[in-house]
């Protein structure tokens, strides 16, 4: 137990006392300001002046004798107490309570005294405080307590309190007396005299002690050397303390309870009731606290127990690795009157020190908490790990040092598992604080250390660290990443520092297999990077390599450009197409990108793409071993292109397709040329795809007036019914289904003219009924519309008439309602509420400029 809460310092030494009188034996003493009074066993009162001096952190006492007085009774002076307010000292000798002058030690003139007194006690906290009197309570030899008010020369008796047994020792606080009777303790209420028993004790074993510790709380010595806390309500709010036997005296200096027996002074904390310190001290006869100062007397000497500064106590505890106690003590130091800032500074430093102590003991959980709470400078931790600090850092450890660890190798002693634990701690700690306020201004150190840690143990976190907003320094980390062959990470680091060329050099080596790194995501990653790279020179440098590696992926560099990239000369489409000549696949992809994605409307690209598609189809057709699906795919692509675009040179394509039997394509091309008859004939006669023919009509009439659509369907119908076609019988069924189709649209009269006379009415009944109905419907709807329009017309007329009903009389002295000037022109504005203004003064015809009234902007529906 090396905690030091107090130091024993001599106050008045033996030599000084012996010089006065050989036989002098101290019995009691009192300290009041600089005055120290001693009562001796041979009835002397000594008066000393004592001064506390603090030299170089050490407390010493300087004393000078002021006077002495023999009370002439040959009995010991049992109690002595100064009452500075009255300039008196109170003395108990031979069971008699008397008053002496504080300075010359002469008895008071009145000779006031109380006889038959066992013990007296000052009420430091009386119910009716008065600066010119004090209140005491005395325990008489008979079964009675008495309360007195003491004036300079008078003792006024206030109250008697009877008790079941005589009291030996009492304590007083405000309205309560706690008394040790001969066999038990009790609490007596002064006003009512009510007695509450506390607990019994055996005088044979227990030396009764009553000590007021805080307001309304007493400390008593209980059986088996227990220190019992009792409130004035007679209950206990703290667990008892264990003392040793033969207790002599107890004092209290917050937060400590100091107890003295014949061999030791023991110090307990009132907070946890645990013993904190023991000081060997033999032959102690008296101890008490005076305004927070503790004095102890043996029979010949006087000492003071000087509290060791909180900081010193805490440092002693920390040196002893008693972290919890140190922190608890530090927390309580808050109540010692430090300012909040100062306290927090001190407390944080202690937490940091404590953190490092836990750290050395591998209590990582605790260390982590303390580091975070103590807001330790993270560099203090990083610098313990060799080579973890950035090389350029000029960090020096705080002074005075927070710890005595040169670096962790001293702690781990080359034990591998231990080293791993320490490294893991650093990593998890850094990860935890990385985005908190503890990392402000220290991001570089944290990120560099994390990078080195990740690189070393090949952590999957390495890549995310570099992708996110990282503050890794370049020079320092390159070496580390190279050493552990984290090539991809190295490239990312270069990229982060905008050294894209270097990054690409590493990546191209990774793709080529010259380097390997498991974390490298592959070729696609490089393509993506190049596609988003805004340095087009660099793009050109690598595009050749990328295209040779894989044409389709490589061209993505050009096609997946960022949406809002400004156009540049290097990436001008013409130049790119020229360049891509060598790579047929890439050209197609690039043209598709231009035509379909960028929607460039340049005939050249569209024709080029169409020709390329067509060439591809033709090539496939020539080669008989090609699977049919592949041809279909290529053709459908071509058809799609031909259909949606109308910018390519149709004649050119048509010239090429006509020579082959690609009828579907021809049909589309004819459609583009508006040669619908030809197109439909191909669809009907060659392909016999009637659905496609109907669809053709719909597609080609999209976005045109209904008459155009009717015309197209009519052409189709006439193709079906063309009598020159040798197999026209086969086309009756599709013609009928077209007539009855829901999507088709016809001019009924023209259809009837076209239909062969030989067809029966029953065959056409469905078509005719529908045509009739439709015609009827249109006629009726038109009538309805007409009538509604008429109604609307009427109601507007009515409104107009109403508005014009009243005359507006304009005279010369009538002024504009807005500008209040006369009218100079014949035109004016009249609002429906009668306000008349200039034309130019009427800003809004729906809002009256004078009243701000809003007129209906729309006639509401009559319903």
Partner 1 sequence: MSGKRKPDLKVIIMGDYAVGKTSLVCRYIEDKFIKHEPTIGAAFFLKQWGPYNVAVWDTAGDERYTGLSHFYCRNAGAAILAYDMSNPQTFESLWARFMPLLNSSTEKCLKIVVGTKMDLIPPEERDITLEEGRKLAHELNEGLDISKLACEPYFETSSKDGSHVSEVFECIFQYCLPLSGDQRSKFGLSTSTVDLYEKEPKRATAKKGCC
Q: Select from 232-240, 285-293, 716-724, 728-736 the region that touches partner 1 (CB under 8 A).
A: 232-240
Binding mask 76-105 vs partner 1 (x if CB under 8 A, - otherwise)? ------------------------------
271 lies in the site for partner 1, by CB under 8 A = yes
| Region binding partner 1 by CB under 8 A among candidate stretches 34-42, 233-241, 427-435, 635-643 | 233-241
3-state secondary structure of 49: strand
**What element of type H or E holds 62?**
strand 58-70
Q: Is 272 in the site for partner 1 (CB under 8 A)?
A: no
834 lines the binding site for partner 1 (CB under 8 A): no
End-to-end CA distance of the chain: 99
Which range touches partner 1 (CB under 8 A), out of 193-201, 288-296, 447-455, 618-626?
193-201
What x-and-dash track marks residues 783-822 binding partner 1 by CB under 8 A?
----------------------------------------
Residue 228 makes contact with partner 1 by CB under 8 A: yes
* CB 369, min distance to partner 1, A: 20
Phi-psi region of 216 (alpha: psi -120 to 50; beta: other; left: phi over 0): left
Spatial contact of 539 and 529, defined as CB atoms under 8 Å apart:
no
Asked if 238 is part of the footprint of partner 1 (rule: CB under 8 A), the reply reads yes
Task: Figure out which of the listed residues 151, 199, 366, 517 binds partner 1, where binding follows CB under 8 A.
Answer: 199
The encoded tokens of residue 745 equal 């649209």
How far is the C-alpha of 580 from the C-alpha of 859, rounded, in Å? 65
Q: Which of 234, 311, 372, 692 binds partner 1 (CB under 8 A)?
A: 234
Point out which span in 53-61, 90-98, 230-238, 430-438 binds partner 1 (CB under 8 A).
230-238
Could you tell me if 823 and 814 are in contact, meaning their C-beta atoms sit under 8 angstroms apart?
yes
Q: Contact with partner 1 (CB under 8 A): which of 214, 391, 468, 695?
A: 214
Q: Is 217 in the site for partner 1 (CB under 8 A)?
A: yes
Residue 215 sits in the site that holds partner 1 (CB under 8 A): yes
Least Å distance between CB 437 and partner 1? 31
In the complex, what is the shortest distance from the CB of residue 128 to partner 1, in angstroms, rounded to a whole number?
22
CB 173 within 8 A of CB 161: no
Binding residue for partner 1, selected from 87, 194, 242, 428, defined by CB under 8 A: 242
3-state SS of 409-428 is HHHHCCCHHHHHHHHHHHHH
Give the tokens for residue 18: 């012996």
Size of the site for partner 1 (CB under 8 A): 25
SS3 393: coil
On whether the CB atoms of residues 220 and 253 are closer than 8 A, the answer is no
Please identify, using beta-carbon distances, which residue of 227 and 573 lies nearer to partner 1. 227
Determine if residue 291 is left, alpha or beta; phi over 0 gives left, psi from -120 to 50 gives alpha, anything else beta. Answer: left
Q: How many angstroms separate the Cα of 31 from the Cα of each of 28, 41, 81, 517?
A: 11, 18, 8, 81
Among 33, 129, 193, 223, binds partner 1 (CB under 8 A): 223
515 touches 509 (CB < 8 A) = yes
Smallest separation (angstroms) from partner 1 to the CB of 226 = 5
Does residue 236 belong to the site contacting partner 1 (CB under 8 A)?
yes
Half-sphere exposure (Cβ direction) of 159: Cα atoms closer than 13 Å: 15
Candidates 200, 406, 522, 832; binder of partner 1 (CB under 8 A) is: 200
Q: Which of residues 722-761 bind partner 1 (CB under 8 A)?
A: none
Least CB distance to partner 1 at residue 336 (A): 15
Per CB under 8 A, the list member of 114, 140, 145, 270 interacting with partner 1 is 270
Q: How far is the CB of 231 from partner 1 (least distance, A)?
A: 9
Is 185 or 529 the residue whose CB approaches partner 1 more closely?
Answer: 185
CB-CB contact of 304 with 45 (8 Å): no
Chosen residue from 84, 203, 237, 619 binding partner 1 by CB under 8 A: 237
The span from the CA of 35 to the CA of 290, in Å, is: 11
Is residue 35 within 8 Å of 102, Cβ to Cβ? yes
Cα separation, 742 vs 767, in Å, equals 10
Helix, strand, or coil here: 391?
Answer: coil
Of the two residues 184 and 419, which places its CB atom closer to partner 1 in the complex? 184
Residue from 33, 67, 129, 239 touching partner 1 (CB under 8 A): that is 239
Q: Determine, following the binding rule CB under 8 A, whether residue 687 of this chain makes contact with partner 1.
A: no
- 33 phi and psi, to 5 degrees? 60, -125
Torsion region of 743: left, alpha or beta (phi above 0 gives left; psi -120 to 50 gives alpha): alpha
* Smallest gap from residue 131 Cβ to partner 1 (A): 25
- Who contacts 295 (Cβ-Cβ below 8 Å, separation ≥6)? 11, 29, 31, 36, 287, 288, 289, 302, 303, 304, 305
Residue closer to partner 1, measured from CB, 201 or 359 = 201
Tell me whether residue 270 or residue 609 sits nearer to partner 1 (CB atom).
270
201 binds partner 1 (CB under 8 A): yes
Structure tokens given for 236: 């206990």
d(CA 272, CA 239): 9
CA-CA distance, 176 to 178, in Å (whole number)?
A: 7
Is 685 one of the binding residues for partner 1 (CB under 8 A)?
no
Per the structure block, which two tokens stand in for 782?
Answer: 């038109």
Asked whether the beta carbons of 185 and 201 are under 8 A apart, the reply is yes
Structure tokens at 774: 């439709």
Give the shortest CB-517-to-partner 1 separation in angstroms: 39
Tell me the CB-side half-sphere exposure of residue 108, using CA atoms within 13 A. 21
Please, what is the minimum distance in Å from the beta carbon of residue 287 to partner 1?
Answer: 22
C-alpha 264, offset from chain centre:
53
Tell me, rounded to whole angstroms, the distance of Cα 418 from its chain centroid: 32
**How many C-beta atoms lie closer than 10 Å to residue 255's C-beta?**
18
How far is 294 from 287, CA to CA, in rounded Å? 7
Determine the interface stretch with partner 1 among 199-207, 446-454, 757-765, 846-854 (rule: CB under 8 A): 199-207
By CB under 8 A, residue 125 contacts partner 1 = no
Q: Angle at the Cα of 720 (from 715 to 723), degrees rounded to 5?
A: 105
Q: How far is the CB of 331 from partner 1 (least distance, A)?
A: 13
343 binds partner 1 (CB under 8 A): no
CB of 774 to partner 1, least distance (A): 51
Question: How many other C-beta atoms are found inside a 10 Å radius of the C-beta of residue 70?
Answer: 12
**Which one, of 708, 722, 671, lies nearest residue 693 by Cα?**
671
- Using CB under 8 A, which of the segments 144-152, 194-202, 669-677, 705-713 binds partner 1? 194-202
CB of 224 or CB of 336, closer to partner 1: 224
Q: Does 198 bind partner 1 (CB under 8 A)?
A: yes
**By CB under 8 A, residue 187 contacts partner 1:** no
Give yes or no for a contact between 550 and 523, defined as CB atoms under 8 angstroms apart.
Answer: yes
Provide the minimum distance between the beta carbon of 247 and partner 1 in the complex, in angstroms, as a whole number: 15
What's the closest the beta carbon of residue 173 comes to partner 1, in angstroms? 12
Residue 224 in the binding site for partner 1 (CB under 8 A) = yes
Q: Which is nearer to partner 1, 334 or 397 (CB)?
A: 334
- In the complex, the smallest distance separating the C-beta of residue 464 from partner 1, rounded to whole angstroms, is 28
Single out the residue of 226, 338, 631, 692 in contact with partner 1 (rule: CB under 8 A). 226
Q: Is 208 in the site for partner 1 (CB under 8 A)?
A: no
Q: Which residues contact 193 (CB under 8 A, 6 or more apart)?
A: 161, 162
Provide, rounded to whole angstroms, the least separation between the CB of residue 240 and partner 1. 4
- Sole window of 125-133, 161-169, 224-232, 442-450 interacting with partner 1 (rule: CB under 8 A): 224-232
Give me the residues that bind partner 1 (CB under 8 A), please. 198-201, 214-217, 222-224, 226, 228, 230, 233-240, 242, 270-271
């Amino acid at each position: 137990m090396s905690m030091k809460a107090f130091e024993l310092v001599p106050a008045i030494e033996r030599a000084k006392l012996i010089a006065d009188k050989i036989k002098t034996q101290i019995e009691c003493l009192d300290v009041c300001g600089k005055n120290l009074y001693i009562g001796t066993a041979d009835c002397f009162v000594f008066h000393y002046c004592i001064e506390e001096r603090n030299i170089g952190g050490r407390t010493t006492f300087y004393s000078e004798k002021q006077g002495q007085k023999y009370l002439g009774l040959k009995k010991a002076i049992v109690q002595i107490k100064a009452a500075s307010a009255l300039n008196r000292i109170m003395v108990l000798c031979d069971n008699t309570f008397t008053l002496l002058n504080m300075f010359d030690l002469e008895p008071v003139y009145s000779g006031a005294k109380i006889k038959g007194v066992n013990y007296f006690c000052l009420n430091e906290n009386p119910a009716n405080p008065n600066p010119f009197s004090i209140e005491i309570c005395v325990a008489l030899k008979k079964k009675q307590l008495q309360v007195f008010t003491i004036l300079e020369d008078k003792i006024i008796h206030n109250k008697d309190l009877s008790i079941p047994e005589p009291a030996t020792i009492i304590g007083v606080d405000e309205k309560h007396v706690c008394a040790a009777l001969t066999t038990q303790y009790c609490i007596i209420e002064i006003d009512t005299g009510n007695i509450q028993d506390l607990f019994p004790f055996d005088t044979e074993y227990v030396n009764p002690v009553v000590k007021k510790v805080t307001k309304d709380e007493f400390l008593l010595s209980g059986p088996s050397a227990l220190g019992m806390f009792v409130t004035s309500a007679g209950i206990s709010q703290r667990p008892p303390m264990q003392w040793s036997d033969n207790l002599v005296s107890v004092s209290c200096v917050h937060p400590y309870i100091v107890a003295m027996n014949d061999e030791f002074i023991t110090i307990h904390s009132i907070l946890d009731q645990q013993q904190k310190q023991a000081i060997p001290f033999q032959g102690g006869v008296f101890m008490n606290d005076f305004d927070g100062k503790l004095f102890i007397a043996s029979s010949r000497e006087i000492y003071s127990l000087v509290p060791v500064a909180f900081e010193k106590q805490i440092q002693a505890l920390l040196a002893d690795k008693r972290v919890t106690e140190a922190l608890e003590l530090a927390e309580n130091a808050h109540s010692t009157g430090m300012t909040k800032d100062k306290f927090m500074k001190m407390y944080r430093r202690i937490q940091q020190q404590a953190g490092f102590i836990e750290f050395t003991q591998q209590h990582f959980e605790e260390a982590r908490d303390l580091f975070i709470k103590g807001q330790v400078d993270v560099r203090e931790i990083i610098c313990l790990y060799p080579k973890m600090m950035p090389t350029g850092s000029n960090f020096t450890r705080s002074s005075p040092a927070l710890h005595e660890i040169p670096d962790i190798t001293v702690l781990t002693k080359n034990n591998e598992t231990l080293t791993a634990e320490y490294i893991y701690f650093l990593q998890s700690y850094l990860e935890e604080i990385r985005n908190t306020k503890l990392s402000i201004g220290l991001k570089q150190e944290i990120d560099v250390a994390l990078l080195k840690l990740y690189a070393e143990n090949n952590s999957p976190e390495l890549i995310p660290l570099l992708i996110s907003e990282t503050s890794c320094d370049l020079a320092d980390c390159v070496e580390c990443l190279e050493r552990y062959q984290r090539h991809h990470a190295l490239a990312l680091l270069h990229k982060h520092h905008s050294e894209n060329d270097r990054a690409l050099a590493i990546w191209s080596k990774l793709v080529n297999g010259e380097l390997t790194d498991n974390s490298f995501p592959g070729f696609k990653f490089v393509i993506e990077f190049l596609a988003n790279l805004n340095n087009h020179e660099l793009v050109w440098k690598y595009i050749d390599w990328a295209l040779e590696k894989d044409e389709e992926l490589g061209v993505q560099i050009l096609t997946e450009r960022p949406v809002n990239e400004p156009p540049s000369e290097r990436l001008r489409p013409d130049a790119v197409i020229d360049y891509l000549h060598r790579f047929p696949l890439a050209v197609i992809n690039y043209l598709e990108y231009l035509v379909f994605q960028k929607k460039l409307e340049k005939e050249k690209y569209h024709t080029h793409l169409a020709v390329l598609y067509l060439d591809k189809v033709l090539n496939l057709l020539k080669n008989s071993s090609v699977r049919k699906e592949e041809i279909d795919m290529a053709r459908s692509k071509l058809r799609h292109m031909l259909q949606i675009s109308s910018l390519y040179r149709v004649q050119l394509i048509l010239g090429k397709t006509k020579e082959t039997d690609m009828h579907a394509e021809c049909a589309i091309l004819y459609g583009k040329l508006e040669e619908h008859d030809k197109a439909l004939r191909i669809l009907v006669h060659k392909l016999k795809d009637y659905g496609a023919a109907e669809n053709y009509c719909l597609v080609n009439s999209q976005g045109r007036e209904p008459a155009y659509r009717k015309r197209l369907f009519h052409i189709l119908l006439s193709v079906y019914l063309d009598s020159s076609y040798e197999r026209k019988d086969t086309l009756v069924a599709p013609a009928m289904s077209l007539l009855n189709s829901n999507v088709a649209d016809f001019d009924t009269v023209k259809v009837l003219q076209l239909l062969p006379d030989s067809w029966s009415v029953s065959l056409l009944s469905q078509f005719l009924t529908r045509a009739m109905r439709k015609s009827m419907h249109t006629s009726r709807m038109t009538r309805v519309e007409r009538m509604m329009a008429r109604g609307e017309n009427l109601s507007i007329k009515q409104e107009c008439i109403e508005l014009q009903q009243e005359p507006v009389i304009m005279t010369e002295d009538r002024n504009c309602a807005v500008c209040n000037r006369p009218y100079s022109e014949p035109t004016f504005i009249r609002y429906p509420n009668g306000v008349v203004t200039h034309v130019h003064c009427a800003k809004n015809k729906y809002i009256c400029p004078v009243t701000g009234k809003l007129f209906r902007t729309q006639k509401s529906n009559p319903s």
